[in-house]
């Protein structure tokens, strides 16, 4: 499936799901913004934001027929699209909690759901530069000066991340010359993901060899980990991976580690990450659940673009 086909399918799925149950994937929460607030300085037009009361009323009219469906408004703010408000909502059904973005028109009469794609002659350059200059603080492997960098925003409790890991590992085995970075992006709906992210960060700083074993085993044992036993499980996995589990637990509880996780989440948010897993291949966002063949083609295409630019003496 091509990237455009994936985005089109995702949009159709989101619309169909919204009509019946809700949306897919989660957006990290921010503080809601007051109704009528303007977009950041320099925006082409002021953005009128719907109130939380209006959003809740909309959701009640949409889902109130089913008492098993609940929701929480996570964030209301000006979007990256001038004139449109961005509303992030977590919807919980008997099948679990999911969420996505709504873009609301300034007149408050229309809402759009789906992905927002970068556009222009070089649509992925801004994200690529942001990643190059940003706070990439996760464990990494592969040549640092590789022509292609893959950044994986992931959540250790996310079942989609668990399922996608074999495809990512297969891609890296086939493309050993890429630079790969694992960035923590724990979702607020997962009750032990943030703690697991802290363990990943600490294990990674202690041993770059051990961290990949730790990530693999944590995904493998994901279904056996709970909020009640997470420290016990993760300490054991860390020790088995080759580091001191007790020391890692102490590190994971430090404010410095929390700040590092928050920085990783902030970077993801600034790039429009709304759920996990999300891969960036030289700045191009693509779901890690895409087939390995598609991911490999994107990597090879990006490598060819870098080579062509170097030969032409352009960026």
How far is C-alpha 218 from the chain's CA centre? 19
Q: How many CA atoms lie within 13 A of 104 on its CB side?
A: 24
Would you state the pLDDT for residue 49? 95
Q: In terms of DSSP bridges, do strands 278-281 and 96-104 run parallel, antiparallel, or are they unpaired?
A: unpaired
Q: What pLDDT does residue 189 have?
A: 87
pLDDT value for 314 = 66
pLDDT in tens, 248-270: 999 999 999 999 999 999 999 88
Q: What is the pLDDT of residue 114?
A: 75
Portion of the chain with pLDDT greater than 70, in percent: 84
Give the model confidence (pLDDT) of 99-158 as tens digits. 678 999 999 999 998 778 889 999 999 999 999 887 799 999 999 999 999 999 999 999
Q: Where in the chain is the domain with CATH 3.40.30.10?
A: 125-305
Give the pLDDT band of residue 315 (cuts 50, 70, 90). low
Q: What is the CATH number of domain 125-305?
A: 3.40.30.10
206, 243 contact by CB (below 8 A): yes
Q: Of 81, 158, 75, give the one whose Cα is nearest residue 119.
A: 81
Show Cβ contacts of residue 125 under 8 Å, excluding neighbours closer than 6 positions. 283, 315
Q: pLDDT digit string (tens) for 238-248? A: 999 999 999 99
pLDDT given for residue 1 in this prediction: 39
Residue 27 has pLDDT above 70, yes or no: no
pLDDT at position 32 over 80: no
Predicted local distance difference test score (pLDDT) of residue 81: 87
Q: What percent of the chain has pLDDT over 90?
A: 68
């Amino acid at each position: 499936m091509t990237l455009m086909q994936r985005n089109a399918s995702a949009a159709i799925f989101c619309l169909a799901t919204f009509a019946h149950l809700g949306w897919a994937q989660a957006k990290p929460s921010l503080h809601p913004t007051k109704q009528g607030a303007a977009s950041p300085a320099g925006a082409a037009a002021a953005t009128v934001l719907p109130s939380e009361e209006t959003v809740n009323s909309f959701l009640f009219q949409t889902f109130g027929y089913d008492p098993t469906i609940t929701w929480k408004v996570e964030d209301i703010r000006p979007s990256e699209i001038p004139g449109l408000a961005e509303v992030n909502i977590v919807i919980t059904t008997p099948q679990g909690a999911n969420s996505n973005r709504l873009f609301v028109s300034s007149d408050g009469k229309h809402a759009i759901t789906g992905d927002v794609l970068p556009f222009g002659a070089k649509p992925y350059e801004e994200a690529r530069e942001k990643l190059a200059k940003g706070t990439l603080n996760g464990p990494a492997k592969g040549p640092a000066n590789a022509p292609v960098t893959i950044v994986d925003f992931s959540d250790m409790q996310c079942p989609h991340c668990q399922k996608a890991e074999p495809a990512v590992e297969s891609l890296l085995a086939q493309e050993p010359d890429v630079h790969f970075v694992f960035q923590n992006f724990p979702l607020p709906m997962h009750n032990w993901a943030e703690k697991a992210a802290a363990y990943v960060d600490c294990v990674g700083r202690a041993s770059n060899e051990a961290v990949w074993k730790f990530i693999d085993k944590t995904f493998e044992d994901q279904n056996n980990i709970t909020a009640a036993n997470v420290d016990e499980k993760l300490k054991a996995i860390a020790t088995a991976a080759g580091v001191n589990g007790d020391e890692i637990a102490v590190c994971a509880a430090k404010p410095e580690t929390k700040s590092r996780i928050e920085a990783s989440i902030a970077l993801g948010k600034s790039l429009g990450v709304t759920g996990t897993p999300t891969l960036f291949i030289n700045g191009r966002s693509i779901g890690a659940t895409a087939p390995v063949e598609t991911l490999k083609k994107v990597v090879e295409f990006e490598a060819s673009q870098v080579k062509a630019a170097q030969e032409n003496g352009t960026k």
